[in-house]
Chain A
């Protein structure tokens, strides 16, 4: 369903948005939305619209992020912050089970706390796609990650179309935005100017329709729809960056010896920030702990990154010793292998890895460089030692 379908689109005002948050909370959801904290817009619990970052936007560039005032009171007038929704659906630290020693054996007691019910307010098109991608990773393979699946099934998603995009955004190149297309319960388009401040609201699911029915809304006028259309157009024209994806998978998969890998490795600190900030990166490590008296044990899963040496450790040493091999793993996985593994690229063009890289490495630039410099000796060798 799109905003253009007449008769379907409705409008709500600020008071109704406040009611939406309260109704969700009343229905037992932990409502998570954007708030301003530590000079960034992050996602956390919200109680109402006054928690939202009214009038703030984010200025982003390679290795650069700063909050600046907008000229208006837009609540969703920023692009994306350091957090992705995976923080909630695929938490950074998760206890998978606990076990007790009993006599000469042990028994497992999974933490049976019911999965949290999250309502997300302000999910961008790129992040919506990132959630769909993690669904493929965790729920659509041979094995289902049960705790992810439970949290995901419980989630209520209120998407927000991007009005202005960030300097590092390239969702359009990845076919993921800026317009929200699917995977939401409700989707908002923020209309600030001319007053009154209001939201075009679209329904994406039965749960969304039921919720909309409980809100005061009015039918969107044709000028509302025109205004929304101009918001979309503006966003699409403001993309800060671009990736040419044509033939990119083949390029990356056949250039393991390209000199650019060493060149980028000279700048890369292998800190792993890009993988932590990325909304699709899913890698984890598992740690087993035992209590000092050996009576209990637990298994904890934490986010991990292919930039650590530990990631590829096998007896005798890590497979990926050099930073260049680790950067190669990262970029090739995101933009190439992912397509073989899950049927879609692992990048949604949100730009977080560019913004939060301490030295400002920009994957769109790296891809362009990999394309440009042709290295005759580096197509994959079929010879044997």
Chain B
């Protein structure tokens, strides 16, 4: 077990909003810089608890760091009070941050083999630093595929990054949309349908998946059909979180606490509950 953390683990540290990118109508990406302290290291797949003064806290995946590694980058979708407040910050605003928390993607385990990243919607956020890691260490990996499903062509998250990954890193990136518009020439349909045609050798592939639970269910089924063993499929799970440190009990998923035993979890370890409803 890791050594006990002694600081008051409920106290956020002040970070400044350094820049804001509006990705589309209800989604923003924030770069956050710590004030007077060094930003802690993180593993791709981990998350932070972001706090807006007097409003509350939400678990938000770390989707990257800035060039000089000074800060954290987070992408937030407005769905309720806290995310709304986070989406409405201005440059220079002070917000609170606790983290990083949780277990990340198995990037060293995946070395010397193929990788399939599968993302649905905002599920691309926690995969982005994993993809950037692969980009920095491209020679350690063989074929790399990103299958990304989103609602429509106007909600393609990190579109420029996806282009760059394709160009610079020989990443086979396929974007599929639920609803095409007139100008869309790409794929239409659900993301699991793309798995059968993706270039990977199931005997030496690691899959990393994040998206809504239903999407992950179908994705897992397709990956297993394609011959990938359950222990090389990794999912990033979501449950209600209040503390992020295993003390509030809210994120329980069977015997696991998603905040500390996840959010990235190996499929074979949760296969017995994955199809159980309301667990």
Residue B146 at the chain A interface, CB threshold 8 Å:
no
Check A325/B277 contact, CB under 8 A, given A288-B51, A337-B254, A384-B221. Answer: yes
Q: Is the CB of A256 within 8 A of B56?
A: no
Q: Is B193's beta carbon under 8 Å from chain A?
A: no
Determine the chain A residues whose CB is within 8 A of the CB of B11 once the complex forms.
96-97, 108, 110
B67: CB under 8 A from chain A?
Answer: no
Residues of A in contact (CB 8 Å), total 62
- Which residue from A139, A143, A383 sits with its C-beta under 8 Å from B275? A383
Within 8 A of B (CB), among A72-123: 96-97, 99, 101, 104-108, 110
Chain B interface bracket (under 10, 10 to 19, 20 to 34, 35 or more):
35 or more
B54 touches A291 (CB 8 A): yes
Using Cβ atoms and an 8 Å threshold, which residues of chain B touch A299?
10
Q: Which single residue of chain A is at the shortest CB-CB distance from B249?
A: A283
B252, A337: Cβ atoms closer than 8 Å? yes
B245 adjacent to chain A (CB < 8 Å): yes
Q: Is B68 an interface residue (CB 8 A)?
A: no
For B250, what are the chain A residues with a Cβ–Cβ distance below 8 Å? 283, 285, 304, 311-312
- Stretch of B110-118, B135-143, B234-242 contacting A (4+ beta carbons < 8 Å): B234-242
Which listed segment binds A: B1-9, B160-168, B170-178?
B1-9
Which residues of chain B (35-86) have a CB below 8 Å from chain A? 35, 51, 53-57, 79-80
Report A-chain residues with C-beta under 8 Å of the C-beta of B238: 314
Q: Which residue of B lies closest to A284 (CB)?
A: B248
Nearest CB in chain B: distance from A170 CB, A: 23
B247 touching A137, Cβ below 8 Å: yes
Known: A104-B92, A325-B279. A290 touches B53 (CB 8 A): yes
Is B276's CB under 8 angstroms from A380's CB?
yes
B12 an interface residue at 8 Å Cβ cutoff?
A: yes
- Is the pair B54, A290 in contact by a Cβ cutoff of 8 Å? yes
1/0 contact string of A128-151 vs chain B (CB within 8 Å): 000000000111011111100000
Min distance, Cβ A213 to any Cβ of chain B, angstroms: 34
Contact A385 B5 (CB under 8 A): no
Given the complex, which residues of B lie within 8 Å of A214, measured CB to CB?
none
- A381–B273 Cα distance when bound, in Å, is 8
Nearest CB on B from A236, distance (A): 32
9 closest residue pairs by CB, A with B: A290-B54, A325-B278, A283-B249, A340-B255, A337-B255, A297-B54, A143-B245, A384-B221, A105-B94
A-B contact list, 23 entries, CB within 8 Å? A97-B11, A104-B94, A110-B8, A137-B247, A142-B4, A142-B246, A143-B4, A143-B5, A146-B9, A282-B249, A283-B249, A288-B56, A290-B53, A294-B53, A301-B248, A311-B240, A325-B277, A337-B252, A340-B255, A380-B273, A382-B272, A385-B217, A385-B218
A residues adjacent to B (C-beta < 8 A): 96-97, 99, 101, 104-108, 110, 137-139, 141-146, 253-254, 256-257, 282-291, 294, 296-297, 299, 301, 304, 306, 311-315, 319-322, 325, 329, 333, 336-337, 340-341, 380-385
Interface residues, chain B, CB within 8 Å of chain A?
A: 1-2, 4-6, 8-12, 14, 35, 51, 53-57, 79-80, 92-94, 96, 217-218, 220-221, 224, 238-240, 242-243, 245-250, 252, 254-255, 257, 260, 271-279
